Structure 1
Amino acid sequence: LHPASATGRPSIGGARMIGLRAFLRHWLGPLTVPWAAERVRKAMQAVQPDLVHAMRIPFEGIVAAAACLSAPLLISVWGNDFTLHAPSTPWMGLLTRRALAHADALHVDCQRDLHLAYDLGFSRERPRLVLPGGGGVRPEIFHPGAPDLAALDGPLKAVLRGISPEAKVVINPRGFRGYVRNDTFFQAIPRILKVHPRTIFICPAMANQAQAKRWIGQLGIGAVVHLLPMLSPIEMAATFQRAQVTVSPTEHDGTPNTLLEAMACGCFPVVGDLESIREWIEDGVNGLLVDAGDPEALARSVNRALADADLRAQAAERNERLIAEKATYTNVMNEAEAFYRKIAR
């Protein structure tokens, strides 16, 4: 049971719709669970799987638990399942606890979520696995080095070709989500430009965001900000390779794939100060941790990273080792396969 791909979902009104979608999801979504569970139950009776893997709790894990399947149920946890969705309404909290009680095994992408799962009722005696949720980083795509512009096409190629070699580049790869403080990011840009006036800002998955365009107009930063469509992995890698800094001002997160991919490419992380992120980033060593709601703090950290080439080099070396040790695709998928075999009937 897999959620809809973020790369294939069109915008339905931009940033203003995020709060409404969250409200509908948290208050009305639970009403659909009995109907969805019955459909899943019938489908699984026909398929008779050895294992059912729900790729997040709301609502795949919730529906699978309600279906009372005979096959073992493995639930994966996304980074905001416990910190954003579960406490949003009493109903969501109850359904989250029920899903964890029914789960035969659990996959999380950070130790924080494992501890929260125990607090919410997942049995400590059941199998659990801590691995990057996206399957890990593909080193043949995400690695240090200069971007290969010949391998690119579309608007990104033109953008990268148009950036002078002396310019600094900052990427915000998170798009528009309810837990990403893009208001903080855009408000930080003029403060960054005061210190580093030749800085370019690249924003994938924001091409059609009206709110982003309004902020750019209000702040007068249109000449240095590029709002791009969703980028392919090869395009993301090229952008991380060209950028000095990646910015992720989030208030809820687990282990973001874009963080690991940026680290693999040698791009310096400036990220929200969250418990889950601290499992990867040591402040001032291989990245900088900031208050996601403070534009001045974000700008100050980005300015520090852009000015300190030694810090960026030190971080790049450490982060490349971290990814090689903990997050390469082959190693992650081998561990995931072994876990599957352990719990499948």
Structure 2
Amino acid sequence: MAKKRILFLGETYRADAITWMNGLKEFGDFEIVTWELKKSSVGVSRLRRLFELFLTFFKIKKMTQSYKADMVIAERTTSYGFLAALTGIRPVAIAQQGITDLWPHHSPLYPFKKMLQDYAFKKADLIHAWGKVMSDHMEKSKVDMTKVMELPKGINLENFTFSETQNLKSIEAVVTRSLEPEYKHEVILKAFAEIKKKNIPFTLRIIGGGSMMKSLQKLAIDLDIQDQVIFKGRTPNTRVAELLQKSNFYISMPTTEGVSASLFEAMACGCFPIVTDLPGNRSWINNHENGILIPNGNDKILAQEIIEAFERDIWRKAVVERNRKFVEENANYIINMKKIAAAYHELITLKSKAN
């Protein structure tokens, strides 16, 4: 029997997308074909990006005819999710990335993006909520909740193995978010400048690429912490796991967030998580119980909390051990992707019978 074919619409270089597609191949025996918008130059406005999306509307039917897919899946409800709904391929599964799908709220494009999202929600046969914060948003948006599957993709626990690093004599911190403005790396750099003033030894490894690379490197020099900060650039996921296993702290300070697989990866590897106090993070982190939540943009509090947590190594050891067990129970890639793949096969079967 020929493999069922899925068309994936989205940015194929992203770790989340790779996890999604690989899981479907491995546990659903699907063949995956991909399509994504051409990369825009750095600094292209959101309006220009939406214009590019609009031009794609006119060729979407022709584009999809050549793929002969049994199903289409897409990330981000306001762009690829909307395009998936237009392809004419059924069934359609879309994933809401979180609050960032409709962001910022004060944007003049917000009503237009909301219209695209509502259409995608209406036409989708299955809507992924990678966490509760996404389900809550959908419920407020009057989405048919019978179509919603609340389940993270999970992470490969064979790759992201636990490492005991809580007895290190220095702060070995890692950041794995893209170097884009919304991830607020400057807050982290300023916090570590405060830590340096206390004469506490540290190394800060920043993994990932992005438009902010040069400005952040300059900021590190201006703060006189360039010798302790290592910019790793884009890094293969296997290497990310190795760097997490060498670290005792995971830091993430975005301004808005859905559910981050990188948080699960860090928790699985034994990093103590310190993240922004946001709804998505609150779903997984209880402040001062299994990690620390930081008020948005507050580098002084971030520095203070890192120092205090570093000094409590026995407590941190107990926390990271519990976190590993939590990830095994709630974000196991093998278990969760088997469920997702089975749901897709069921949808395809139901649609074929209906036709």
* TM-score bracket relative to the smaller structure: 0.7 to 0.9
Q: Does 1:229 align with 2:233?
A: yes
1:151 maps to which residue? none
Which residue pairs with 1:141 in the alignment? 159
* Deviation digits for residues 81-129 of structure 1 (CA, Å, limit 9, x no counterpart): 445267642222221222212222100211111121232342223x221
Give, in angstroms, the shift of residue 146 of structure 1. 6.2
Cα deviation per residue 1:134-185 (whole Å; 9 max; x = unaligned)? x3211111111269xxxxxxxxxxxxxxxxx633201111131232111211
SS across alignment from 2:241: helix
* Structure 1 residues 38 and 195: CA distance shift in structure 2, 3 A: same
Question: Does the Cα contact within 8 Å between 1:272 and 1:291 map onto a contact in 2?
Answer: yes
Give the % identical residues: 22
Distance (whole Å) between structure 1 residues aligned to residue 209 and residue 76 of structure 2: 25
Counterpart for residue 81 of structure 2: 61
1:12 positional shift:
8.6
Partner of 1:112: 133
Q: Distance in 2 between matches of 1:265 and 1:184?
A: 24
- C-alpha deviation, 1:235, in angstroms: 1.6
Length, aligned pairs only: 315
TM-superposition CA deviations, 1:207-257 (whole Å, max 9, x none): 981111110111111111111122222221121111111100011111211
2:306 is the counterpart of 1:287:
no
1:153 aligned partner: none
Which residue among 260, 264, 274 is the counterpart of 1:260?
264
Residue identity in the other structure for 2:13? S
The one-letter amino acid paired with 1:54 is: A
The gaps in structure 2 that reach 5 residues or longer are 1-8, 19-38
> Normalising to structure 2: TM-score of the pair?
0.81
For the pair 1:52 / 2:72, whether they are aligned, the reply is yes
In structure 2, relative to structure 1, the CA distance for the partners of 1:100 and 1:235 (3 Å cut) is same
- 1:83–1:306 Cα change, 3 Å: farther
- Tell me, yes or no, if the aligned pair for 1:285 and 1:314 is still in contact at 8 Å: no
Of residues 240, 264, 282, the one that matches 1:278 is 282
- Identify, as 1 or 2, the structure richer in strand: 2
* Paired position in structure 1 for 2:213: 209
| Amino acid corresponding to residue 176 of structure 1 in structure 2 | L
- One-letter code aligned to 1:253: E
User: Which residue of 2 is the match for residue 188 of structure 1?
Assistant: 191
After TM superposition, give the deviation of residue 341 of structure 1 in Å. 2.1
Equivalent residue in structure 1 for 2:96, among 69, 72, 77: 77
2:10 pairs with 1:2: yes
Q: Extract structure 1 runs of 4+ deviating beyond 4 A.
A: none
Q: Which runs of 5+ in 1 are unaligned?
A: 148-164
Q: Is the 8 A contact 2:100 2:256 kept in 1?
A: no
Q: 2:337 aligns with which of 333, 338, 342?
A: 333
CA distance in 2, matches of 1:50, 1:321: 37
| Local SS of the residue matching 1:57 | coil
What root-mean-square deviation, in Å, do the aligned CA atoms of Structure 1 and Structure 2 show? 2.6
1:301 counterpart (286, 298, 305)? 305
Return the TM-score normalized by structure 1.
Answer: 0.83
